[in-house]
Amino acid sequence: MTTLFILNKPPYQSEQTKEALDMALSLAAFDSRVALLFAGDGVWNLVEDQAPKQQGMKEFTRLYKGLDLYDIEELYVEQTALENYQLTEENLMIPIQSVHCDAEFIQRFAQVICL
Amino acid sequence: MSASFAILVSGSPYTSQAHLSAQSFIEALYQEGQEVSRVFFYSDAVYVANNLQSPPNDEPNWHLRWKELAAKYEFKLQACVSVSLKRGLLSAEEAELNELNQFNVSAPFDISGLGEWAESSINGDRVVHFA
């Protein structure tokens, strides 16, 4: 049984992405299976060379590079969102599978949480 | 055997419909003979745990409504500790730990770790999320 977290907000505009990630990490720490989907504006979480410290923010997105430590290995990015923002794999900080977020994709998960 | 429901509320009490919808859903569940294991408040939903909120008499008091509903059906009300502390919601215990001389969260609202929420998932509770 896998819980999919949909991260569809940009990283620093609100606390929502960080809070969703915290919840995902804690489920994973308790041996629940967790998957992450970066969709819509959420793809900006994955872009390399972020400098939030210039605005006094914490660079929590570094955590994406260490998700294997939490046994979170199912990572997806929405293909359409990458295209909309003209981003390619080279712009992203981790290797990640791009997917089409249709019903067939969502139905693979027992639970879906989007804060 | 009826399944147990774990309710996740993340919408703010006064700028979303999350609390009204969650409470209506819980009433309906109990009328159908189902049970709720816990209501877990996350993100801006934790503001509802503040026991100082004082809306006008003819407007809904979501804090009070949760208290009444939890007393009626005996389920837990849990506000996530990390997001609560950040937003200035502290129980007497948390206030002491953080060396603050005031607190605004008390029973039946409980300040709980995310581990409590993870437990719902482990127990196989059916999760319904109100944002």
Q: Tens digits of per-residue pLDDT, A63-105?
A: 999 999 999 999 999 999 999 999 998 999 999 999 999 999 9
Query: What is the rounded CA–CA span in Å between residue B1 and residue A86?
Result: 51
Do the chains contact at B43 and A22, CB–CB below 8 Å? no
Would you kindly state where each structural domain of chain B is located, as residue ranges?
4-130
DSSP symbol at A9: S
Q: Which of A1, A32, A111 is nearest residue B118 as measured by Cβ atoms? A: A32
Identify which of B44, B112, B33 has the alpha carbon closest to the alpha carbon of residue B77: B112
- pLDDT per residue as tens digits for the range B88-120: 999 999 999 999 999 999 999 999 999 999 998
Rounded mean pLDDT, B28-49: 97
Those residues with Cβ within 8 angstroms of residue B78's Cβ, 6 or more apart along the chain or in another chain:
B38, B39, B40, B41, B109, B110, B111, B112, B116, B117
Q: In the prediction, which pLDDT does A49 show?
A: 93
Residue A60 pLDDT greater than 90, yes or no: yes
* Number of CB pairs, chain A paired with chain B, less than 8 A apart: 45
- Residue B2's pLDDT is 59
Domains and CATH numbers, chain A: 2-48+59-113 (3.40.1260.10)
Distance (Å) from the alpha carbon of B10 to chain A's nearest alpha carbon = 7
Task: State the CATH architecture for B4-130.
Answer: 3-Layer(aba) Sandwich (3.40)
**Confidence at residue B122, expressed as pLDDT on a 0 to 100 scale:** 78
- B121 and A115: CB-CB below 8 Å? no
Burial-class residue A86 by CB neighbours within 10 Å (0-12, 13-18, 19+). exposed
Share of chain B above pLDDT 70, in %: 98
Q: What is the mean pLDDT of chain B?
A: 95
* A 44-103 residues inside an 8 A Cβ radius of B: none
- Supply B113's token pair: 């770790």
Q: How far is A68 from chain B (nearest CA, A)?
A: 19
Q: What is the mean pLDDT of residues A20-32?
A: 95
> Is pLDDT of B4 > 80?
yes
ipTM summary value: 0.91
Q: Is B120 on the interface with A (CB under 8 A)?
A: no
Residue B122: count other Cβ atoms within 10 Å of its Cβ: 13
